[in-house]
């Protein structure tokens, strides 16, 4: 059963991280519980006959999976699966659960038995990128510890731990004993080792929380928002996706010469009028240039797009990012923190096992 919990997966400078430590982080932070609930719900939907994914849905899910991982050929896919001790049937089960997991209706209240849930969960963790997410999380915590050490002027991570994060206290020992068997199908972790790693993890979590406060401060955030004023400008616009250039030209003519409103043009063309509210850096360069220089209400295009079709656009509004907007402030703070963590890590983190 993959992965072996004592197998190394990350190198963080001179520190080696195992899959067992990633599992511990996932269990401690609630990520394992969330993943288990998702798999359990999908299994319940399938086992209860509530939904049976169609062939086209599963094929679309498979295509998206392979494209995201650049698995161009069947040989690429089989090699990816083999590196995780999986076979095609395991993967197909994951695809079906992925489709079933998007079901929004009611599901049976009783969760599936562990004998059914755990094997499905192990496959889903491997296929859904869960281990990579935990590796990224481990790297962030480690980098935060380095950042805290640099701030204190010490040569390594701070050894000063809050009282609740000491390996010998009752809370840590009890938590370690519980987490040691968090996913028995993959094996059991040593409770003493878990307590030691929980001590380190909680120290690094505290360091990350402090870094979030530091890089979320007013002056730094306001300066970053000002620097990103152009890229983070909000473009509010409507669009029509038409099948041909001729149809787009006709729509533009109706808008500019006849003064016809976008909803009426959409009705006559029998296509949906789509509304968008996006950052400038979230749209193509050509689209951004069109919308950035347009007057509100102006019809723009035609704009040919990938995958077929031609767009006609109507700008509604441009909004400059504001330092008073909490969403923009969080975005700026997140970017500042990420840059600081990357500087602290200095490229010394690398994966040495499949994720």
The enclosing H or E element of 261 equals none
Cβ contact 318:236 at 8 Å? yes
* CA–CA distance, 91 with 85 (Å, rounded to integer): 11
The enclosing H or E element of 91 equals helix 88-100
Q: What is the pLDDT of residue 165?
A: 45
Task: Taking each helix axis as running N to C, give the angle between helix 130-152 and helix 31-47, from 0 to 180 degrees, rounded to the nearest 10.
Answer: 170
* CA–CA distance, 174 with 66 (Å, rounded to integer): 42
Domains and CATH numbers, the chain: 8-131 (no CATH), 135-221+334-351 (no CATH), 231-319 (3.10.50.40)
Cβ contact 145:157 at 8 Å? yes
* CA–CA distance, 106 with 143 (Å, rounded to integer): 42
Per-residue burial over 25-51, b = 16 or more CB atoms within 10 Å of its CB, e = otherwise: bbbbeebbeebbebbbbbbbbbeeeeb
pLDDT digit of tens for each residue in the chain (355 aa)?
899 999 999 999 999 999 999 999 999 999 999 999 999 999 999 998 888 999 999 999 999 999 999 999 999 999 999 999 999 999 999 999 999 999 888 877 778 899 999 999 999 999 999 999 999 999 999 999 999 988 765 555 544 444 444 555 677 788 898 899 999 999 999 999 999 999 999 999 999 999 999 998 888 899 999 999 999 999 999 999 999 999 999 999 999 999 999 999 999 999 999 999 999 999 999 999 999 999 999 999 999 987 779 999 999 999 999 999 999 999 999 999 999 999 999 999 999 999 9
């Amino acid at each position: 059963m993959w992965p072996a919990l004592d197998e190394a997966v990350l190198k963080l400078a001179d520190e080696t991280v195992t899959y067992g430590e990633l599992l511990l982080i996932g269990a401690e932070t609630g990520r394992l519980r969330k993943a288990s609930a998702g798999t359990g719900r999908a299994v319940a939907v399938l086992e209860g006959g509530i939904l049976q994914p169609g062939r086209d849905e599963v094929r679309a899910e498979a295509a998206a999976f392979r494209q995201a991982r650049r698995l161009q050929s069947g040989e690429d896919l089989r090699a990816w699966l083999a590196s995780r001790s999986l076979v095609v049937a395991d993967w197909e089960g994951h695809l079906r659960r992925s489709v079933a997991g998007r079901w929004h209706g009611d599901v049976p209240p009783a969760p599936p038995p562990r004998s059914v849930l755990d094997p499905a969960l192990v496959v889903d963790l491997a296929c859904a990128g869960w281990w990579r997410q935990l590796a990224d999380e481990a790297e962030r915590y480690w980098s935060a510890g380095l950042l805290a050490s640099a701030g204190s002027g010490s040569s390594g991570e701070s050894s000063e731990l809050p009282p609740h994060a000491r390996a010998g206290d009752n809370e840590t020992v009890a938590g370690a004993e519980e987490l040691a068997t968090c996913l028995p199908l993959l094996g059991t972790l040593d409770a003493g080792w878990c307590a030691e790693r929980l001590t380190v993890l909680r120290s690094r979590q505290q360091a990350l929380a402090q870094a979030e406060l530091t890089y979320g401060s007013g002056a730094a955030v306001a300066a970053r928002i000002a620097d990103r004023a152009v890229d983070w400008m909000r473009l509010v616009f409507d669009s029509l996706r038409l099948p041909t250039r001729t149809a787009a030209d006709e729509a533009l003519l109706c808008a500019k010469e006849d003064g016809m409103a976008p909803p009426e043009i959409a009705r006559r063309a029998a296509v949906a009028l789509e509304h968008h509210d996006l950052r400038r850096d979230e749209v193509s360069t050509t689209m951004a240039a069109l919308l950035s220089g347009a007057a509100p209400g102006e019809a723009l295009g035609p704009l040919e797009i990938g995958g077929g079709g031609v767009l006609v656009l109507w700008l509604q509004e441009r909004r400059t990012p504001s330092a008073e907007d909490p969403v923009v402030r969080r975005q700026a703070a997140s970017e500042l923190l990420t840059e600081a963590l990357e500087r602290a890590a200095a490229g010394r983190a690398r994966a040495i096992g499949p994720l």
